[in-house]
Amino acid sequence: MANALLERVAAGDAGAIEECLSRYRPLVWSLARRFSPDFHDIEDAVQDVFIDVWRHAVRFKPEIAPETAFVATIARRRLIDRYRRRRREREVAPLGDAIDVPAGPEEDIASRGEDIERVRESMGALRLDERRVLELAAYQGLSQAQIAAATSLPLGTVKTHTRRGLERLRRLVEARGSCASPRDDRKRDG
pLDDT of residue 29: 93
Regarding the domain delimited by 4-89, which CATH topology (the fold level of the hierarchy) does it fall under? Rna Polymerase Sigma Factor; Chain: A (1.10.1740)
Q: Rg of the chain's alpha carbons, rounded to an integer?
A: 24
Short-list 59, 57, 34, CA closest to 45: 34
Helix crossing, 128-140 with 67-99: angle to 10°? 90
| pLDDT one digit per residue (tens) for the chain, 190 residues | 444 798 999 988 889 989 999 999 999 999 998 888 888 888 999 999 999 999 999 999 888 889 999 999 999 999 998 888 888 777 665 555 555 555 555 555 555 667 777 777 888 888 888 888 888 887 777 788 888 888 888 999 999 999 998 998 888 888 877 544 444 444 444 4
**Alpha carbon distance 158, 145 (integer Å):** 8
pTM: 0.47
**Alpha carbon distance 72, 91 (integer Å):** 28
pLDDT of residue 185: 43
Regarding the domain delimited by 101-189, which CATH topology (the fold level of the hierarchy) does it fall under? Arc Repressor Mutant, subunit A (1.10.10)
Could you give the 3-state DSSP secondary structure of residue 60?
Answer: coil
Domain residue ranges in the chain:
4-89, 101-189
